[in-house]
Amino acid sequence: MSHSVQIKNALISVYYKDNLEPIIHELNRLGVNIYSTGGTETFIRNLGVNVIAVEDLTSYPSILGGRVKTLHPKVFGGILARRKFESDEQQLAQYEIPEIDLVIVDLYPFEETVRSNAEEDEIIEKIDIGGISLIRAAAKNFKDVVIVASKSDYGTLEEILKTQDGATTIDQRRSFAHKAFNISSHYDTAIFQYFNQEEPLPVFKESIQTAQVLRYGENPHQKGTFYGDLEAMFTKLNGKELSYNNLVDVDAAVALIDEFTEPTVAILKHTNACGIASRNFIKEAWIDALACDPVSAFGGVIIANDEINAETATEIDKIFYEVLIAPAYTDEAVAILKAKKNRIILIRQSVELPVKQFKTLLNGVIEQDKDAVVEGPEQMTTVTKRQPTAHELKDLYFANKVVKHTKSNTVVFAKNGTLIASGVGQTSRVDSLKQAVIKAESFGFDLKGAVMASDAFFPFPDCVELAAEAGVLAVLQPGGSMNDKLSVEMCDQKGISMVTTGVRHFKH
């Protein structure tokens, strides 16, 4: 079981030939017979190394426009033959099939072709048949065969050839096979996802090839890993690695800030905004966002949708925070922010984000579309005698964006493009409202003239009654309660406006 295998014959057929040359020369030094096809055969021959065309082995040419080249018993027999099985050895001898000890093959760039928005015929032609079959065959027979299915493993193979003179251990072959099956399964998933768009089958498949092991999960006793390409999403200018909790908050921050086009700064804690403001200039947005709840802002995640300049950086640097995200920074701002080495400073890059969300739940996975809608003044229906003013409608739109990204049950108060207070994650809506009133008062905010948004309908009129008594002049809710009429009547009694949107924004 632990026998060493000496590479005597190799089959090489690759799409990408980067860094392949040193391996070819090492195989040539070791006297390995090399079989190849098409462009790879030409590449090897141009290096001055002897190569045997697969057509000469199979006595069949490449046919059907290159669709069939290696699919032949003389190729797969040499790969799948079990060296310790006498009957397999006898059949190899009978049919003059050479044992193939090393297979180097990669796959047509299917995902890249899909991303290029190519025509379907071109995409279909990039579904590899021979390559995927060679990978699976060689990986299955890892006890006797080395499979290298990615150019990222060329360096490892080259080192083995140099230091072990072409001999491989069972552990090395198993490791290569492990990686090969990862590549083949990912490739098949990508093809399935392409076909599963218009009339999707009710199955769950995801495959992400990049990962980052985190220091720990939500708590130190939990392991954590992020699957995805963080380097494509962010350029890190300073600080330690993002933690599990950082990533959860950063995700919430990105989702929230993407609702806004005017210069805006948001501060989040445990995925909820504890401060957010939109202004003409980013410095003013920061100052007013921080004023909402400077206590909760301590150790939070800050995100801006405009460049951070030196003046803004100086103000931000006055508090302790975990992460700062912006699309750009001036050089002076970077110098100020990097003075504290543990602060994580990120430049956000423009990348396409998923449109689906999923998580493990019970003994399976639950999936949904992202909540990608937010209702503006055009989608607001006034249901009270008093009409909201244009300024109130603008604030209601602002508040609706914030409440959508706040943990249910929730209500938020907003005024002049600023979050005044929010009641977050309470088991009753009236408790959320009471919490928001207390927070607003504790930081000296006057709720007179403010607006209120709720993520879901009001089951009873008590919420609008308390809001009106606190000074709120306009309320937004989706509507849909059996008691909507009672809430509307309470608004009319108190002389305030109410608009409904018809869209609920629960966030659990």
Q: What is the longest distance spanned by two Cα atoms in the chain?
A: 98
Backbone dihedral angles phi then psi of residue 265, each to the nearest 5 degrees: -125, 135
- How are beta strands 5-6 and 9-13 bridged, if at all? unpaired
From the candidates 140, 151, 236, 338, give the one annotated as an active-site residue.
Answer: 140
DSSP output for 402-442: HHHTSPSS-EEEE-SSBEEEEE-S-SSHHHHHHHHHHHHHH
Closest CA to 456 of 430, 488, 417, 420: 430
According to the 3-state scheme, what is the secondary structure of 57-112?
HHCCCCECCCCECCCCHHHHHHHHCCCCCHHHHHHHHHCCCCCCCEEEECCCCHHH
User: What distance in Å separates the CA atoms of residue 97 and residue 76, rounded to the nearest whole number?
Assistant: 9
From the candidates 186, 270, 338, 391, give the one annotated as an active-site residue.
Answer: 270
Backbone dihedral angles phi then psi of residue 19, each to the nearest 5 degrees: 60, 20
Q: Which two tokens stand for residue 377?
A: 């003044």
Q: Which two tokens stand for residue 15?
A: 């799409």
With vertex at residue 195, the alpha carbon angle to CA 193 and CA 196, rounded to the nearest 5 degrees, is 60
- How are beta strands 474-477 and 451-454 bridged, if at all? parallel
User: What distance in Å separates the CA atoms of residue 163 and residue 501, rounded to the nearest whole number?
Assistant: 70
What's the CA dihedral at 472, 476, 479, 481 to 10 degrees?
Answer: -30
**What is the SS3 assignment for 16?**
coil
Calculate the alpha carbon distances from 293 to 275, 276, 290 in Å. Answer: 6, 10, 6
Q: Within 13 Å, how many C-alpha atoms sit on residue 124's CB side?
A: 4
- How are beta strands 381-382 and 321-326 bridged, if at all? unpaired
Any catalytic annotation for residue 74?
A: no
Any catalytic annotation for residue 370?
A: no
* Residue environment code for 133-169, b if the CB has 16+ CB neighbours within 10 A, otherwise e: bbbbbbbebbbbbbbbbbbebbeebbebbeeeebebe
Q: What residues are labeled active site?
A: 140, 270
